[in-house]
Structure 1
Amino acid sequence: MLPLRTQMLGFLVKPKLLLLTRMIFTSIRCFVGMASQRNSYDYTYLLQRCKGTKTIKSIHAQIIIGGFEENPFLGAKLVGKYAQCYESNIEDARKVFDCLPDRDVFVWNTIIQGYANLGPFMEALNIYEYMRCSGVAANRYTFPFVLKACGAMKDGKKGQAIHGHVVKHGLDLDLFVGNALVAFYAKCNEIGASRRVFDMISEKDIVTWNSMISGYAINGCADDALVLFHNMLQVQGDTVYAPDSATLVAILPACAQATAIQEGLWIHSYVIKSGIELDAALGSGLIAMYANCGLLNSARDVFDRIDDKNIVVWNAIIRCYGMHGHADEALKMFSGLIDSGLHPDGVIFLCLLSAFSHAGMVAEGMELFEKMGDYGVEKSSEHYASVVDILGRAGFLHEAVEFVKNMPMQPGKDVYGALLGACRIHNNIELAEEIAEKLFVLDPDNAGRYIILVKMYEDAGKWENAARLRKALKEKNIRKPLGCSAIELGCVLHTFGVEDKSHPFKDQIFDTLERLDNIMEEEAGLFDRFPLVETI
């Protein structure tokens, strides 16, 4: 007869886990009565199979009773299990670590990995320094964990110092460490340094390519990510790299940014032909790609095929409908999210509020904003800015101003930016001047704020005011991002900016443009000599 505790646990676990639970408790009970026959390997065997904090602590207690609490091998196993268990926290692992009198590099790496995964990330660096002071030499597994913590904090200076330690240890050419460096520099927005490390790795693996592609994508370098993806698919020496699920998840945001439908369709086809599981990460990437390319039906088809829909998947499909003006459908999907038992997050509400703003659904937007507290979602500055946008676009400028005045937090540049945009729509120069003055302080390097007011002055015929602002832009050297065009030839994306002379084929391009201009002039002259006869 199993103990009552085990019987009750059977009602709380899935049937497939019940047998494993019984075996673990039976093993622990047998161990209590076999003190003279226990050894570290027996406890290691149990630790490898146990799940949940209570089970780990039960085995931990038996380890202490058996006198093995100072065993470094068992200590490392306990630290690892506590750090991996979702019910636990890193402090349980730290207590075991602190009690170990002798720590080898494996134990140090395990606790550093725990902090790098769970946080606080700074503690991973503190442990690393403690390890160095203890005279234990770091190895090829230590540095990736430390670099991961630096990347999570976006601390480029500390990461560069760790890079120096890597070089001193002669591990700068190690593949495992090199991949971690590529990912670290990308997370710190130093994409140039990331690419230099990538190019230095002579024997790359799929993780190397994935890290660099993902780095380009998260830093907004969609074109570079797509070019690198095409390079990966080609033969590299004697190696052909087949994209895995991580590769596709990394490149799909770049496809969405660049609206690269050809690559997106190829990826979707590859997923189907290769039998890769359409999980939440891959599915949400495909939905975002199709949404940015305007293929709503394809996005919905992908959504319907995902079995395990998490909050990210629901967010992707709600954003898909919202960005294309289908606010009613976005609201239906929100109801489906609630019915599924998931709790919406702040991103979901931002997508919905944006959809209501562009659809002019003021009442629905205000009602949704008020209900955020009912779902336990904290209202951020971005949510308040969305409400201002809803009111402002609909012409309720006075209500929007009062809403800003009654905000429980200090309005930021997003809030005032939304209000300035509404002033532009409804041509309220007096209010725009007042708001612009605040934005020139809160967001001084944003040329768009100045340009909006300049356009309003020009529309009203206030040329002196417009000239004064343009002069201020020039004196402060504030430039508006230039527009660009792109064309894909031979799987290579060529981008051209305004007055851009950086393209390697600029001579041929400008020569062709000049010849086209001459042809157009000749055609215009031909029509001047032979005007079209107006038919009755």
Structure 2
Amino acid sequence: MNGLLSKHVFLLLAKATSFSVRFFISEMRGNRRRDSYDFTYLLEKCRAINSLREVHAQIITGGYGHNPFLGAKLMNMYIEFPNSTMEDARKVFDHLPERDVFTWNVIIQGYATCGPLDEVLNCVSEMWAAGVTANEYTYTFVMKACGALEDVTSGELIHGQAVKCGLESNLFVGNSLVAFYGKCQEIQSSRKAFQEIPQKDIVSWNSMISSYVDNALSNEALVLLHAMLRDSITCAPDKATLVSIIPACAQASAIREGLWVHSYIIKSNITLDAALGSGLILMYANCGRIDAARKIFDQISTKNIVVWNAMIKSYGTHGHANEALKTFTELQWTGMQPDGLIFLCVLSACSHAGLVAEGRQLFKQMEEYGVEKSGEHYACMVDLFSRAALIEEAIEFVKTMPIQAGKDAYGAILGACRIHGNMELAEKVAEKLFVLDSENAGRYMILAKMYEDAGRCEDAARVRKLLREKKIRKPVGYSAIEVDYVLHRFGVEDESHPFKDLIFDTLRKLQMVMEGEWAAVDQLVAAS
């Protein structure tokens, strides 16, 4: 190589060989003056942060430090490097004398992705103060930050600005509004933003489905899925749709939709990865198909910690504590590091199965793995002792806890007091719960029923009166039954079902049959 080699020939040769960035720069020093094209090529070849900083220095010494195009490219490169901070990107931004909307969008997107999120709002305020008009991409990045912060007030102000600019019907802005309001639990506003998008794309549908699922509105998510399928000519479900809807199938125990999702994955030759697999495991488990959940687990070639957690949780939910422990052992054999959620699931399984020794051992293993013990882990141990009638040990455990016992720990003790009839302790624990969990009607009802069982009707009435005065309502219970892959729910004195007349007529007939059977039993007993 020598200085006579033309710049473009050198670029082609560098592209075809494995020259390092440093060697490339040294060779270019003998050439004629470099331009932005050269530096753009160099930036694209950077694979390490040191190389990027070296090219950055060359850009500055070459007199291109104020070039807006190179500045935006540099910021993007700094932002995209793993574990990078916004410090380097911000320095580039601050040294640019002129900043157009594209440059502002790069720095705003960087803060929205890498944080701190508060800087997103600061940047957009500075942008408006500088007289730069935001475009649809600006609002998308800002709404993303507001959603992550769950900052409803700021988000609504930004929404208002978008309306003033006539961008409320823009596809990108509309999709970001759907996601923002969903994350802020403003589901009606999310739905309104969704309906106002004139030409919905797959992101629109996925965002609305995710908003419903995140707000525990699984039935609404499933209804929306059916609406999407009717519009499948323009929007066919993709992997993101499936990942979003599977939790709704699990929440609603909707086996029909779950089977459809599973079939769609197979027919579409979509790889059953950890995201889809873990969702299907929980869906089948919630529908009572634990064997199917295990088959899905075995089919996933690359299992991450989320997949293992889903399988262990499924076993624990169905009372298969031994299988949960066995699966936990299999996880340890892989060499994978169990996390706090894994330990919580397996401890819960031990608690419900009365496996005290195993629970103690697991709790100790958390220290060996360096897993931090949270309030939920301590509460699970209290529940383990309480269910095993080791109330004194549970109380002693609470006293020695390094953190303040919370509502879950005291709730476990209160439940044990009712099972074992320990009224004195129940009253003390209930007093704490009425402060820690004052809006939970179940805490009051347990104490009231204990008073009634003990014949202390006045005390029971006092607790119930306290419930009324605080206007605390007990969640309405319901039963559910699956018929032909359709889940039917029934509340107390519920007459909302479309087949209510047929159902009540059948119940009356069953009652008559039962009365006849009992009459026959009475006659048989009298004759014997």
TM-score (norm: length of structure 1): 0.88
Task: Tell me which moved more, 375-384 or 163-172.
Answer: 375-384
Correspondence for 1:143 among 139, 142, 160 = 139
Q: Residue 270 in 1 paired to residue 249 in 2?
A: no
* Residue 469 (structure 1) aligned with residue 467 (structure 2): no
Percent pairwise identity = 58
More displaced 10-residue stretch of structure 1: 468-477 or 353-362: 468-477
Match of 1:155 among 151, 157, 163: 151
Where do 1:70-469 residues align within 5 Å? 70-235=66-231, 239-469=233-463
Judge conservation of contact 1:53–1:87 (CA < 8 Å) in 2. no
CA distance in 1, matches of 2:376, 2:204: 36
Listed one character per residue, the Cα deviations across residues 188-219 of structure 1 (whole Å, up to 9, x for unaligned) are 11111111111111211111111111111111
The list of structure 1 runs, each at least 4 consecutive aligned residues, that deviate by more than 4 angstroms after superposition, is 20-25, 485-496, 508-536
For residues 67-126 of structure 1, give each alpha carbon's deviation from its aligned partner in whole angstroms, at most 9, with x where no partner exists: 222211111112112212113222222222222222221121111112111221111111
| Partner amino acid, structure 2, of 1:59 | V
- Confirm or deny: 8 A CA contact 2:427 2:447 kept in the other structure: yes
Query: What secondary structure is seen at the aligned counterpart in 2 of 1:33?
Result: helix
User: 1: CA distance between counterparts of 2:274 and 2:192?
Assistant: 32
Amino acid at match of 1:62: Q
Q: If the length of structure 2 is used for normalisation, what is the TM-score?
A: 0.89
Distance 1:424 1:492, change over 3 A: same
Residue 354 of structure 1 aligns to a residue whose secondary structure is helix
| Unaligned ranges ≥5, structure 1 | 1-19
Higher mean C-alpha deviation, range 337-346 or range 442-451: 337-346
Q: Are the counterparts in 1 of residues 254 and 486 from structure 2 also a CA contact under 8 Å? A: no
Task: Tell me which amino acid in the other structure corresponds to 1:352.
Answer: V
Equivalent residue, structure 1, for 2:8: none
Contact 1:223 1:493 in 2 (8 A): no
Residue 519 of structure 1 deviates from its aligned partner by 5.2
After TM superposition, the structure 1 stretch with the greater mean CA deviation from structure 2, 267-276 or 53-62, is: 53-62
Secondary structure, aligned partner of 2:78: helix
Residues 283-325 of structure 1 show CA distances to partners (whole Å, capped at 9, x for unaligned) of 1111111121222222222222223322211211121222222
User: 2-side partners of 1:55 and 1:257: how far apart?
Assistant: 49
State the alpha-carbon separation in 1 of the partners of residues 329 and 87 from structure 2.
39
Long gaps (5+) in structure 2: 1-13
- How far 1:175 sits from its partner (Å)? 0.8
Q: Which amino acid aligns with 1:133?
A: A
DSSP 3-state at the match of 1:141: helix
State the Cα distance separating 1:32 from its structure 2 match: 2.4
**1-structure distance, mates of 2:350, 2:447:** 26
Could you tell me which residue of structure 2 aligns to residue 67 of structure 1? 63
Residues 115-156 of structure 1: per-residue CA shift (max 9 Å, x gap): 111221111111111111111111000111111111111111
Q: 1:533 to 1:409 in 2, by over 3 A?
A: closer
Q: CA RMSD in A?
A: 2.8
CA contact (8 A) 2:317 2:349 kept: yes
The answer as to whether partners of 1:234 and 1:240 remain within 8 angstroms in 2 is no
Residue 476 of structure 2 corresponds to residue 482 of structure 1: yes
* Cα offset, 1:387, TM superposition: 0.8
CA distance in 2, matches of 1:303, 1:47: 43
Aligned partner of residue 102 in structure 1, secondary structure:
coil
Contact 1:32 1:62 (8 Å CA) reproduced: no
